[in-house]
Structure 1
Amino acid sequence: MRAKRSFLNLFTGIGSQIITISLGIFIPRLLLVNFGSEVNGLVVSISQIIVYFSLLEAGVGAASLQALYKPAADGDKNSINEILAATSSYYKKTGIFYFFAVILLSAIYPMVIHSNINKATVMLVILFTGLGGAFNYYFQGKYKILLMSEGKNYIITSISTIINILSNLAKIVLLLLGFNMIAVQASFFILTLVQILIFIMYINRNYNWINLSATPNFKAISHKNSALIHQISSLVFSNTDVLILTLFSNLRIVSVYVLYNMVFTMVETIASTVNGSITFLLGQSYQNNKSKFMRLFNTYEVYYMAFVFSLFTITYILILPFMKLYTSGIDDINYIDKWLPVLFISIKLLINARSACNNIINIAGHFKQTQIRSISETIINIVLSIVFVNLLGIYGVLLGTLVAVIYRTIDIIIYTNKYILGRNPWVTVRRWLTNVGCFIVLINISNGININPTSYKTFIIFAVILTVILLPIYFIFISIFERESFRYTKSFFYKRLIKNNVQSLKH
């Protein structure tokens, strides 16, 4: 059952991302064509600031998820209700602050930003962008955590995908018809409310045993403050670059950063979907069967890291051809820069390939033990980015981020292996070196190939060809060096797919 849920999470997640990317990629282009780089930079900077409001959820979400793994695995409804009651209490209190934070931002932001855009427009765009998140947080945050602990990410993904499709289609139609940004963001807000209603209906129908009036088990989520520090550090870290560029440069530079980051974030989201599809399985195995957990984790780390490297190898090869195609006809600022992909790929590879080890810190509940390390990464990022941005502009913020990521990645690898897994960090380092070596070879080979798509159709063909070639290369290459993980994977798929299918045919 748990393996089946992992596959459902994986396939629905990847399917969702393909659909969302296919639709969502048109919107920034339409914004640029219809309103220019300034409006595109404004919309993204607002979205980035509103992301900080999710700090109100930070800590309790991670702590609740970690606490729910065991009762979810055991089917202990009473314990689940007690943890959810404590979680719900926190969400209700902080949900009010979320709402007023959006109102306050809509009043202050138009007064401090340097822009030619009408202040009333900016205010309404903020309200429609932020209030949807506030209602989402208040009404369904706790239920999402429960579904994640049970490995039912595919339910969350399915509902979100339907709404994303409708939301993106509405935005595209409104932009093509010439409506302003207020109408575009209003459509997003309305569909967010629809999503909340669908989600609540699903919970009421399938989880009628949930009792939020149960005695709250606040002790179960007592790690929330330490987890909060991790979440604050993570969110500040993830959104520092856009905020610093907004303050120290201009919205056109923000737009350049955002377009590159958009592409890498889409790829990053696919990687995160694969990562999230198996996290609950690791969490439940860690609580109930440590030997099984170690075999599962080793295989997961080996092939997830190879998957991440293959995705970002493809992205690095195609990023500049895509940007030339995507920004053709837009001349208010130059979007083609050979150094930006180098900096972005370095940062994204480090962040995503370390996710396997980082997940174990969360699953084991080592929030307090590692909070200083997380804070240090954020401080390094902010300080160096502010120093470098005045010297090197957009390169400066990326360099500041890169230094911080290098420090934290090394730290995560050492801490997870030494203090949680009880093994030599060289096991993980060896896997990194294997993938990095493969990456360097493939990039050097690709430099001798002329990739210059003249349409989105030819671009997609190039992307498919590269995926079909590079993904197996990474998996075969890593399997040669990680034979034990390869044997475990072969055995796993044989038992779950081939053997079960043969038995079902006999019956």
Structure 2
Amino acid sequence: MRVKSSLLNITAGIGNQIIITILSFVSRTVFINSLGIEYLGINGLFTSILAMLSLAEAGIGSSIVYNLYKPVADNDRPKIMALMNLYKKAYLVIAGVVLLLGLSIMPFLDVFIKNTSVENISLIYLLFLINTVTPYLFIYKYSFLNVNQKNYIVSGVFSISSILSVCAKIAILYFTQQFIFYLIIECVVSLMSSIILAKIVDRMYPFLRQKIETKLDPDTKANFIKNMKAILLQNIGTYFIFGVDSILISSFISVAAVGLYSNYKMLIDLCRTFINQVFANMYHSLGNLVAKESEEKVFHVFKVTMLLNFWLYSLLAIMLYLFIEPLILVWIGSEFVMGPLVVLLLIITFYERGMRNSITMLKTTAGIFHEDRFVPLCQAALNLSISFILVQRMGIAGIFIGTLVSALLVPFWTTPYFVYKRVFKQPLKLYFTRYGYYSIIAVIAAAAAAYICSFLPTGGLFWLLTRGTLCFLLINAIYAAVFHRTEEFKYLLGVAEAILSKIPKLRALLLKRSRHLEVSGNK
């Protein structure tokens, strides 16, 4: 059942991501041509500022979702209802806190914004704030779908809403060049998507609307509070690691520089989100596995996910390193290129952070929150210190050096340490031996791909696609040759064969579930 749910969720997630990727390119192109680089910078800056406000949510969602795994697996409805009620109340408070914090920042926006001619800054910020607060009123409901391994429903609704939203925003930008209308459409579609998902949950799980008669036991409450505090500390640190880049760039360089960086960030985030569709849709299945299976079974699955994680992240890291600047040149022009040093730093950071994905996923599903609660804060302190010093000497590259160095000094080794010590009870050197071996293979594959590229012309979309296709095939061929005899590869090959053989069945299952929802809704 776990494998079937994961396959269904991954299929829906990847389909959703393909749609989002295409629409993102079209939308970004129209945005740049209609409004210019400064509005792009404002868009990235306000996104970063409001990510900081969202720290009010940090810890609550993850902690409650973790506590839901076992009662959902045991079908303990009274406890599920009590936890969901707590979830609902917590998010109502969160929405209010984020709104008040957001409004309190409005008088100080000039502190973060340097050298801009953009008008109506306060109104633009207010619309960003509304779009940030609104989902908190509904998120507790559709998170229950994720815990039940029905992520494909969430992916499907957001796919449709994304198509509608982006098409409407493209039309507004093309015909009116009005950023305000652009943001209003985004707010309306986001609200409607959340309402629709909430209604779906009500129909699928009507017991959640029943009167709550069971109270949470003291142990569950104590565990929730303990984990919530730990995750809050972790997410505060994480924000100051990844969320302040745009603020630093805007403060020390310019809003236009944020716009340049946002194009690279969009392309890298698209790759990261694509991979996360695979792992996020395995996440709740892994949580169910940790709750039920032995350490040996969990360790075997971890090794499989680590190979898959390496394969996907290293493949896309190499492709990004070789083609991100040529793509930007073909797509929007040479004035949007930032230089090879920035690209190298961004790609190494992408790879290092991505390689921690499988171990971090296991850490979270195993409920390891308290032990490393101060790790992100230590990393954040190092990141801000190094970035603040180097940005004044090296410019934008100094900020990214700070992010990379702080990651290597702290979570690079602490995250696997806690998992191997508590979950696997095995020596940490096993992890780093495997990590080093994988990284060497990646460097060899990158060198081979770069060598092949050197023989092909560089100009034009046709040659870009040709070089990209050849490199993609070469890297995968190298990995298949190296790993084809391993147990992990054979397991993944079996899963791939299952996916191919069950595509008609998956389609039929999706149709069947859709009809079931319609019938339930008519009752």
TM-score normalised according to structure 1 size: 0.91
Moved more, 490-499 or 28-37: 490-499
2:489 to 486, 490, 493: 486
Q: Which residue of 1 aligns with 2:285?
A: 281
Give the Å deviation of 1:106: 3.9
Q: Which residue of 2 aligns with 1:423?
A: 426
Matched to 2:431, the amino acid is T
2:198, 2:37 → 1: CA distance?
A: 38
Matched to 1:162, the amino acid is I
Secondary structure of 2:432's aligned partner: helix
1:409, 1:496 → 2: CA distance?
A: 33
CA contact (8 A) 1:271 1:352 kept: no
Residue correspondence of structure 1 range 317-466 to structure 2 within 5 A: 317-328=322-333, 331=335, 335-407=337-409, 408-448=411-451, 449-450=453-454, 456=461, 459-460=464-465, 462-466=467-471
1:254 equivalent to 2:265? Answer no
Q: Which residue of 1 aligns with 2:511?
A: none
Moved more, 342-351 or 160-169: 160-169
Q: Which residue of 2 aligns with 1:207?
A: 205
Q: Which residue of 2 aligns with 1:268?
A: 272
CA contact (8 A) 2:390 2:399 kept: yes
1:232 to 218, 231, 236: 236
Closer/same/farther in 2, CA of residues 453 and 151 from structure 1, 3 Å limit = farther
Moved more, 108-117 or 153-162: 108-117
Give the Å deviation of 1:239: 0.9
Q: Which residue of 1 aligns with 2:320?
A: 315
1:232, 1:311 → 2: CA distance?
A: 28
CA contact (8 A) 1:48 1:239 kept: yes
1:122 equivalent to 2:127? Answer no
CA contact (8 A) 2:112 2:247 kept: no
Unmatched segments (≥5 aa) in structure 2: 506-523
1:157 equivalent to 2:160? Answer no
Matched to 1:206, the amino acid is M
Moved more, 84-93 or 452-461: 452-461
Closer/same/farther in 2, CA of residues 416 and 183 from structure 1, 3 Å limit = same
Matched to 1:176, the amino acid is Y
Closer/same/farther in 2, CA of residues 475 and 431 from structure 1, 3 Å limit = farther
Secondary structure of 2:367's aligned partner: coil
Give the Å deviation of 1:36: 2.4
1:196-215 residue CA offsets vs partner (Å, 9 max, x unmatched): 22112211211111047524
Secondary structure of 2:168's aligned partner: helix
Closer/same/farther in 2, CA of residues 494 and 171 from structure 1, 3 Å limit = closer
Q: Which residue of 1 aligns with 2:521?
A: none
Closer/same/farther in 2, CA of residues 304 and 447 from structure 1, 3 Å limit = closer
1:271-322 residue CA offsets vs partner (Å, 9 max, x unmatched): 1111112111211111111232222222111222222111221222111111
Give the Å deviation of 1:461: 5.2
Q: Which residue of 2 aligns with 1:55?
A: 55
2:232, 2:186 → 1: CA distance?
A: 29
Give the Å deviation of 1:336: 4.2
Q: Which residue of 1 aligns with 2:103?
A: 103
Pairwise CA RMSD of aligned residues?
Answer: 2.5
Unmatched segments (≥5 aa) in structure 1: 503-507
Matched to 1:142, the amino acid is Y
Give the Å deviation of 1:111: 7.0
1:65 equivalent to 2:65? Answer yes
Closer/same/farther in 2, CA of residues 428 and 392 from structure 1, 3 Å limit = same
Moved more, 227-236 or 350-359: 227-236
Give the Å deviation of 1:402: 0.5
Closer/same/farther in 2, CA of residues 41 and 344 from structure 1, 3 Å limit = same
Percent of aligned positions that are identical? 20
Give the Å deviation of 1:492: 5.9
Give the Å deviation of 1:229: 1.2
Secondary structure of 2:298's aligned partner: helix
Give the Å deviation of 1:389: 0.7
Give the Å deviation of 1:416: 1.9
Moved more, 158-167 or 436-445: 436-445
Moved more, 445-454 or 419-428: 445-454
Residue correspondence of structure 1 range 16-31 to structure 2 within 5 A: 16-31=16-31
CA contact (8 A) 1:321 1:452 kept: no
1:304 equivalent to 2:309? Answer yes
1:424-475 residue CA offsets vs partner (Å, 9 max, x unmatched): 2232223322322222222222333246665556645544444344234324
1:258, 1:189 → 2: CA distance?
A: 21
CA contact (8 A) 1:385 1:401 kept: yes
Closer/same/farther in 2, CA of residues 498 and 266 from structure 1, 3 Å limit = closer
Matched to 1:35, the amino acid is L
Closer/same/farther in 2, CA of residues 487 and 95 from structure 1, 3 Å limit = same
Closer/same/farther in 2, CA of residues 133 and 118 from structure 1, 3 Å limit = same
Give the Å deviation of 1:500: 13
1:476, 1:72 → 2: CA distance?
A: 41
CA contact (8 A) 1:105 1:126 kept: no
Secondary structure of 1:134's aligned partner: helix
1:233-284 residue CA offsets vs partner (Å, 9 max, x unmatched): 2222221211111111111222222221111111011111111121112111
2:179, 2:494 → 1: CA distance?
A: 53
Closer/same/farther in 2, CA of residues 498 and 28 from structure 1, 3 Å limit = closer
Closer/same/farther in 2, CA of residues 173 and 292 from structure 1, 3 Å limit = same
TM-score normalised according to structure 2 size: 0.88
1:297, 1:25 → 2: CA distance?
A: 34
Residue correspondence of structure 1 range 166-181 to structure 2 within 5 A: 166-181=164-179
1:272, 1:487 → 2: CA distance?
A: 22
Q: Which residue of 1 aligns with 2:518?
A: none
Give the Å deviation of 1:350: 0.5
